[in-house]
A and B are shown apart, each in its own frame.
Chain A
Amino acid sequence: MMNFIDALIQYEFLQKALLTSMMVGVICGVIGCFIILRGMALMGDAISHAVLPGVALSYMLGINFFIGAVFTGILTAIGIGYISQNSRIKNDVSIGIMFTAAFASGIILITFMKSSTDLYHILFGNVLAVRPTEMWSTLAIGIFVLISIFIFYKELLVSSFDPTMAAAYGLPTKAIHYFLMALLTLVTVASLQTVGIILVVAMLITPASTAYLLTDRLWVMIYLSAGIGILSSILGLYFSYTYNLASGATIVLAATVLFILAFLFSPKQGLVWRSLKSARKREMHSQS
């Protein structure tokens, strides 16, 4: 542990890596709360994969890859909605069809690019090689996402909890859905360097699910989820640096361990307390 702290003080690349992954932990944690409460975990996975062709196209055209990513991400989200609303195909199947198609086109586009190491980094992330510009763009996205959620908190809450009422009093629920999809693509791109496309869904849903097991209030859940995201990033980066492991994988596994702890020991929902309580009840009845 001391080695890690020493290295952190000494090496600028490690400081950048830590800051970037902590920021990713926060924004994924916050947006992830809405993703899991709306039952869109699969959609989160889909959109993160659908970003790949957009990133490849942006490289080829020499434009900022956020533009391409948001474009293909939203296009895929619209395609998924269009197919499930206009045929008997169920939503999960529609998601499966569209995101694999987008991902496959992404792989083809990337093979036209110069090297295959790019693909590897986009898929799995490499936070230790994060550049200052990428760190700043992550910060910019993070601020934009957090401000959006803060401003529209009330609308996001009611449209997630009771979409029928939200629509009845005039909220544009469809627009809110696509707005959230747009934020999701931004968050995915911001997470590319840290955990990569494949594993970003874990950062979206695992810390949020951990928080979900720990509280009954949405705003507490959002703060907890962000905190758990940060903690996962720090722990993950520590193991990644110390044992020379892929950063994306260690961060995700750290988040998973925290989830399992909550699953077992959460005061209200934890498996351990629940079975203890029901065992005590059963004992009480057998004695009487």
Chain B
Amino acid sequence: MTTAIAVNDLFVSYNGNEALRNVTFAVEEGNLVGIIGPNGAGKSTLLKVLLNLIKKDTGKVEILGKSIKEMKTKVAYVPQRSNIDWDFPITVMDTVLIGTYPNLGIFKRPKKEHKDWALECLKKVGMADFGNRQIGELSGGQQQRVFLARALAQKPEMYFLDEPFVGVDVTSEEKIISILKELRDSGKTVVVVHHDLSKASDYFNELILLNKELIEHGIVEKVFQPAVLNKAYTNQFSPILGTEVTS
């Protein structure tokens, strides 16, 4: 197995305020990884660093042994639903087709083969019948599935998802997680920013626990322990784990 993500001595700050300090970890290929931690722990910041969207102060980040810049088209990103303008004049099909853009290069237009592939990806998430709908007409779960289809259309080596289960119905959530597990089993690396601890141990096989710094990283059985979680969630009221953490 090769190393999918290698982060070394990472420091990130916004206007002098430290967001992440001294983060070091490595994720092997073929894992489904959850990034968890309290609000403001730097979960989305870490994701943005991995996508090369924000500057790091110091440290080294490598994707499949190469710099992020070299790998940028090999990494697919599923944004938080709240970051999308759902009134944008675009259909479901055209949204998925955008997934083929990174590999098309500038000046080139998607052709029939790309459209067929986009439809294939829509089928995979169970949304093939909705191709002509405007994206705002879908439910939250359907919207999230469409954006997963867009990520699939990119044929990436790695998937980054930011809070994909917020405002999503149970059926869609199950569908999405089963596809993510399928991707993992086929050797892809999937990283998910996740805030709902109740399902974390069912969904992921590896966890990164953050609170400005790396609290713990490893297989679920190692990280998902009351004593470990407590280190990140001290002084936080956690209704889900409340009793377990204090006991």
Contact of B88 among A161, A170, A220 (CB under 8 A): A161
> Of A37, A151, A162, A221, which contacts B79 at CB under 8 A?
A162
Q: A151's closest neighbor in chain B, by CB? A: B107
Flag if A165 contacts B77 (CB, 8 Å).
Answer: yes
Do A169 and B101 touch across chains, with their CB atoms under 8 A apart?
yes
B89 interface residue (CB < 8 Å to A): yes
The yes or no answer to A91 lying at the interface (CB within 8 A) is: no
Contact B109 A218 (CB under 8 A): no
**Interface extent on B, as a size class?**
20 to 34
**Chain A: CB-nearest residue to B160:** A168
- Say which residue of B90, B91, B106 sits within 8 Å of A155 (CB atoms): B106
Q: Which of A198-224 contact B (CB under 8 A)?
A: 212, 215-218, 220-221
The answer to whether A170 touches B72 (Cβ under 8 A) is yes
Distance, CA A215 to CA B84, complexed state (A) = 19
What separation, in Å, do the CA atoms of A232 and B79 have in the docked complex? 39
A-chain residues with CB within 8 Å of residue B94 when the two chains form the complex: 217-218
A152 to B106 alpha-carbon distance, docked (Å): 8
Is the pair A164, B77 in contact by a Cβ cutoff of 8 Å?
Answer: yes
A113 at the A/B interface (Cβ < 8 Å)? no
Report the nearest B residue to A164, measured CB to CB.
B79
Q: How far is the CA of A157 from the CA of B94 in the complex (A)?
A: 10
Distance of A151 Cα from B107 Cα, bound (Å): 6
Contact B102 A169 (CB under 8 A): yes
Choice from A154, A160, A212, A217 contacting B109 with Cβ under 8 Å: A154
Q: Which residue of A lies closest to B84 (CB)?
A: A162
Alpha-carbon distance A164/B101, docked complex (angstroms): 14
Mark interface residues in B140-184 (1 if CB within 8 Å of A CB, else 0). 000000000000001000000000000000000000000000000
Q: Are B106 and A217 in contact (CB-based, < 8 A)?
A: no
Residues of A142-166 at the interface with B, using a CB-CB cut-off of 8 Å, are 151-152, 154-155, 157-158, 160-162, 164-165
Residues of A within 8 A of B84 (CB): 161-162
Those of A170-189 within 8 Å (CB) of chain B: 170
**In the assembled complex, A97 has its CB within 8 A of some CB on chain B:** no
Which residues on B are within 8 Å of A, measured CB to CB? 51-53, 69, 72-73, 75, 77, 79, 83-85, 88-91, 94-95, 98, 101-102, 104, 106-109, 134, 154
Question: Which 9 A-B pairs give the minimum distances between C-beta atoms?
Answer: A216-B134, A169-B102, A168-B51, A170-B72, A168-B77, A218-B89, A221-B89, A216-B89, A161-B88
List 27 interface pairs A-B (beta carbons < 8 Å), by A numbering: A37-B88, A37-B89, A154-B104, A154-B106, A154-B108, A155-B106, A158-B98, A160-B88, A161-B84, A161-B88, A162-B79, A162-B84, A164-B77, A167-B53, A168-B52, A168-B53, A168-B72, A169-B75, A169-B101, A169-B102, A170-B73, A212-B89, A216-B91, A216-B134, A217-B90, A217-B91, A218-B89
